[in-house]
Amino acid sequence: MSQSHSTVLRFEYPTATAARRVERSIAVEVGELDDDRSGATVAREAAVLTVTIEATDRVALRAGINSWCRYVATAETVADDVLGRPT
């Protein structure tokens, strides 16, 4: 797959532990959404989570961005629920 479009989503958390929780929750999705038009990687350094999305076209890139933002939002909500924090 020849990648011509990409973006990096960066999420910063108050602690490395919070970032690690979200990272571990969404990392299982890497490779599950990938197809011949797009792919993603997830990385974390301290309290910053990075999702890199690459795609062959803008439509696939937009779909990837929407999906990964939803995954992150869901993981954050679940983490807040587990920790008893208000959303």
Q: Is residue 87 part of a domain?
A: no
Beta bridge partners of 48: 12, 45
* C-alpha span between 83 and 61 (Å, rounded): 33
Q: Give the CATH number for residue 19.
A: 3.30.310.50
> Residue 87 pLDDT more than 60?
no
Structural domain count of the chain:
1
pLDDT in tens, 25-36: 999 989 876 678
Q: Is residue 28 part of a domain?
A: yes
Give the residue from 82, 69, 86 showing the smallest Cα distance to 21.
Answer: 82
- Could you tell me the residue range of the domain that residue 70 belongs to? 5-82
Considering the entire predicted model, what is its pTM? 0.85
Which band of pLDDT confidence, cut at 50, 70 and 90, is reported for residue 82?
low
